[in-house]
C-alpha cells in the first residue's frame, strides 16, 4: 500500500476528505442558523431604533443611544427601515441631517423649486 501526505494511505486520505466534507456541511448549517439569528436581531433593533426615534423626534439623540457614528447614518437607516423618508422629515434636527447629507441647506433646495 502506497503512503502519501503525512504517511497516510489513499484510503485514509479519502476517509479524511469525507470527514472534512461532513464538517463543512455541519458548519454551513450552523452558519445558516447564525445568519437567521442576525436577521432577527436586526429586525428587533430596527424596531427599537424607530420606536425610540418616534418618541424623541431627534436624530442626534437616536444616533447617540444606538451608537451611530453620525446622524446621517442613523437617518439613512430609519429611512430604510420605514421604506420612506417621511419618517425623518419631522425630526427636530432634520435640517442638520439634510445639510450633512447633501452639503447644502434645505432652504436652498426649496428656493430652487
pTM of the model: 0.69
Domain that holds residue 99: 5-112
pLDDT at 97: 95
Per-residue pLDDT of the chain (113 residues; tens, 9 = 90+): 455 567 778 888 899 999 999 999 999 999 999 999 999 999 999 999 999 999 999 999 999 999 999 999 999 999 999 999 898 999 999 999 999 999 888 776 655 55
| Tally of domains within the chain | 1
Cβ(2)–Cβ(10) under 8 Å?
yes
pLDDT at 1: 45
Annotate 5-63 with DSSP letters as a single string. Answer: GGG-BHHHHHHHHHHHHHHHHHHHHHHHHHHHHHHHHHHHHHHHHHHHHHHH--HHHHH
Q: What does the alpha-carbon distance between residue 111 and residue 103 come to, in Å, rounded to a whole number? A: 16
Most distant CA atoms of the chain, gap in Å: 86
Amino acid at each position: 500500500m502506497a503512503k502519501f501526505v503525512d504517511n497516510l494511505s489513499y484510503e485514509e486520505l479519502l476517509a479524511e476528505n469525507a470527514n472534512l466534507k461532513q464538517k463543512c456541511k455541519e458548519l454551513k448549517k450552523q452558519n445558516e442558523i447564525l445568519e437567521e439569528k442576525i436577521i432577527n436581531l436586526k429586525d428587533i433593533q430596527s424596531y427599537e431604533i424607530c420606536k425610540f426615534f418616534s418618541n424623541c423626534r431627534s436624530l442626534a439623540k437616536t444616533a447617540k443611544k444606538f451608537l451611530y457614528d453620525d446622524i446621517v447614518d442613523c437617518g439613512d437607516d430609519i429611512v430604510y427601515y420605514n421604506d420612506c423618508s417621511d419618517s425623518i422629515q419631522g425630526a427636530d434636527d432634520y435640517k442638520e441631517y439634510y445639510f450633512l447629507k447633501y452639503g447644502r441647506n434645505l432652504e436652498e433646495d426649496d428656493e430652487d423649486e
